[in-house]
């Protein structure tokens, strides 16, 4: 099994804020580092992505067969509810393709992320794992850009601010990072971003994302071939 003191090359620094296997970082630094990466990446994007969309940033090894899928989710309670539903649809789909899967929520605290992910991989022994996670955010956490979030925090006093935040949270809106990788070989198969907007409690939201994620992998030839032979 992979050593989590030396996590996959997609978490390593490159001058173009891509990832180079020469410089590896510890798994415990995964999310803070990706926050920096995501900020730099989005700073260069000039067009907005559609709601409920999936975008690919990196993919390799099209057509390779796998035996068992693990989906691991990291994030706050609204993100957890969304991933609980999304993972069920993905697992049902790939189980029907003879690649059975399981889902583990690995928390929302960086301090336990490493241990929880290690434990999930040790428990389920997947040969392919999908990690979907929410980047750390400011107090509002959901729809507005950071500079506007800080303005809201300054303008809204106490209870009024929290009431406005709670009202806006009725509509779930998040950009979630996602990585598909081989734990046994520390190899990235796919890395992308999931843009979610809608009511996380309604099936249409996670059904749309599930279908788009499956279609995107099918387009790239990922998890599209025959299952691995036991």
Q: Of residues 17 and 158, which shows the higher confidence score?
A: 158
Q: What is the pLDDT of residues 102-126, one digit of tens each?
A: 999 999 988 888 899 999 999 999 9
Q: Report yes or no on 10 lying in a domain.
A: no
> Band of the pLDDT at 2, cuts 50, 70, 90?
very low
Count of domains forming the chain: 1
Q: Report yes or no on 16 lying in a domain.
A: no
125-132: average pLDDT: 96
DSSP-based helix, strand, coil % in the chain, nearest 5? 40, 20, 40
- C-alpha 54/C-alpha 173 separation (Å) is 14
Q: Report yes or no on 72 lying in a domain.
A: yes
Q: What is the pLDDT of residue 42?
A: 44
Q: What is the pLDDT of residue 140?
A: 42
Q: Report yes or no on 23 lying in a domain.
A: no
Q: Which of 5, 22, 37, 67 is nearest to 175 (CA)?
A: 37
> Band of the pLDDT at 74, cuts 50, 70, 90?
very high
CATH of the domain at 109: 3.40.50
Q: Report yes or no on 182 lying in a domain.
A: yes
Among 46-50, 182-186, 216-220, the range scoring the smallest mean pLDDT is 46-50
Q: Report yes or no on 155 lying in a domain.
A: yes
∠ Cα 59 204 103 (to 5°): 55
Q: What is the pLDDT of residue 17?
A: 38
Q: Which of 80, 118, 120 is nearest to 104 (CA)?
A: 120
- C-alpha 37/C-alpha 35 separation (Å) is 5
Q: What is the pLDDT of residue 7?
A: 42
pLDDT at 168 over 70: no
**Hey, is 182 helix, strand or coil?**
strand
Structural domain containing residue 168: 52-220
Distance of CA 128 to the CA centre of its chain: 14
Q: Report yes or no on 230 lying in a domain.
A: no
């Amino acid at each position: 099994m992979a050593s989590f003191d030396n996590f996959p090359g997609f978490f390593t620094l490159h001058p173009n804020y891509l990832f180079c296997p020469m410089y590896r970082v510890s798994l415990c630094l995964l999310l803070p580092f990706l926050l920096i990466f995501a900020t730099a990446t989005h700073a260069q994007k000039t067009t907005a992505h559609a709601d409920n969309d999936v975008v690919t940033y990196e993919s390799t090894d099209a057509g390779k067969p796998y035996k068992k899928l693990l989906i691991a989710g990291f994030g706050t309670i609204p993100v957890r509810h969304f991933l609980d539903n999304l993972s069920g649809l993905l697992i049902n789909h790939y189980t029907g393709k003879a690649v059975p899967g399981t889902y583990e929520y690995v928390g929302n605290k960086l301090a336990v992320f490493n241990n929880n992910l290690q434990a999930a991989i040790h428990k389920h022994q997947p040969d392919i794992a999908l990690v979907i996670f929410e980047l750390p955010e400011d107090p509002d956490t959901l729809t507005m850009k950071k500079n506007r979030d800080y303005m809201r925090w300054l303008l809204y006093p106490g209870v009024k601010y929290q009431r406005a935040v709670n009202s806006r949270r009725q509509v779930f809106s998040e950009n979630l990072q996602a990585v598909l990788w081989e734990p046994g070989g520390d190899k990235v198969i796919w890395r992308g971003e999931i843009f979610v907007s809608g009511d996380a409690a309604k099936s249409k939201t996670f059904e749309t994302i599930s279908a788009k994620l499956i279609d995107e992998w099918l387009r790239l030839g990922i998890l599209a071939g025959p299952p691995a032979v036991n």
